[in-house]
Amino acid sequence: MKIKRHSAAAGFLAAGTLVLSACGTDQNVSSGGNNPALEGLQVECGTVPISGEGSSAQKNAMDVFMRDYQQVCPGQNVNYTRSGSGKGVANFTAGQVDFGGSDSPLDAEAGEVAAAAERCQGNPAWHLPMVFGPIAMAYNVPGVTDLTLTPELIAKIYQGQITKWNDPAIQAANPNAQLPDLDIVPFFRSDESGTSDNFQKYLSTATNGMWTGEGKQFRPGPGVGQGRDGSDQVAQSVQSTEGGITYAEWSFPKNLGLSIAKIDSGAGPVELNSQTVGAAIEGAEIQGQGNDLVVNLDSIYGNAAPGVYPVVLNTYEIVCSKGYNPEQAKAVKAFMTVAANADPAQLEKAGYVPLPQGFKTRVLDAVNAIQ
């Protein structure tokens, strides 16, 4: 099978902005050793560069998307600035970028939905849930490499109600483990974070409201734990602290070789891997209308089915349903099509999971409807 392709391209990273570009002439060649999911993929690449801005949580996924995009449309430029979800939404609605990356959907009460529609020439903006990154519970307990936690146990640890690793409640969830008489040292994000926002939403949903914190500022119990700025810092703190535990995007504990807890939502322990997170995504409900694919996070965070790992960070690409000029529309559609077919192995290496087939079909239907 063949794809449209040009000669090799170069990418560079500068001032928080990733730009990929290449040049050459149209030709049909095999993709060789590149992403096999792109074999036979047909897209209209357009003739203009496109740009996006926003969520830093999806930065590494965006690297994978751009690398694959070169395979299909290496005559194109794509520029993505990692500035945070708020700036991404603001600059999308201001018409300064072609798509916005956001950890949360547009806020109607804050006027973002109306502003996006105005930017899209009077047409609604759509949310494309393109990036799913698991949130891992990483820990450092000497001699313990197989640990199961429930959402209630996690909440009680961060509320200060459980302070020792050999607490009877933890032992009950791990009957075969030799848990030490060791203080639990919880670490959390001290900076405002989409990861904290989603983690608190998960805890609230999965514990039926036992956890009351909400928002991007993590809110542990009084005097509980130690705050650190950034996912790299909380993960490194756990690595250097016996008894430490934290929540962080999957890639950080993976890269440090930290142990990651299984989650028992009521149907038995579930390990974090692409298959168990994919099961959570496949079971997600869409609360948006038509091709506006806003995910009902409660349907993920509250999924207690066997084999489902429900602690997941969801990031959107926000695009115009209509309102682009023809060449912009082609380029945006091409990039989003490639992103939905991103290399699963490279995504997992970067700490994300590929879209399961049924969910990917829904996303691609929306992408194909962009005008």
Confidence at residue 62, expressed as pLDDT on a 0 to 100 scale? 93
CA atoms within 13 A on the CB side of 130: 33
CA distances in angstroms from 137 to 13, 77, 287, listed in the order given: 30, 37, 28
In tens, the pLDDT along 201-259 reads: 999 999 999 999 998 899 999 999 999 998 889 999 999 999 999 999 998 999 999 99
Determine the pLDDT at residue 267.
96
Residue 236: its pLDDT value, please?
97
Question: Band of the pLDDT at 24, cuts 50, 70, 90?
Answer: very low
Of 164-168, 264-268, 287-291, the least confident: 287-291
Place of tokens 């049924």: 358
**pLDDT for 44 beyond 80:** yes
Q: What is the mean pLDDT of residues 173-184?
A: 97
Report domain extents, the chain: 3-133+290-295+314-368, 135-277
Quick one: pLDDT at residue 11? 33
The verdict on pTM exceeding 0.95 is: no
pLDDT at residue 170 tops 90: yes
Of 147, 108, 252, the closest CA to residue 193 belongs to 252
Mean of the pLDDT values across residues 181-200? 92
Q: Given CATH 3.10.180.10, say whether it is the number of domain 135-277.
A: no
In CATH terms, are 3-133+290-295+314-368 and 135-277 the same topology? yes
Taking the CB of residue 124, how many other CB atoms lie within 10 A of it? 18
At the second CATH level, the architecture of 3-133+290-295+314-368 is 3-Layer(aba) Sandwich (3.40)
Percent of the chain with pLDDT over 70: 91
Other C-beta atoms lying within 10 Å of the C-beta of residue 142: 10
Report, as an integer, the average pLDDT of 322-337: 96
Pair of tokens at residue 101: 């990356």
For 148, list phi and psi in degrees, rounded to 5.
-115, 135
More confident of the two residues 57 and 309? 309
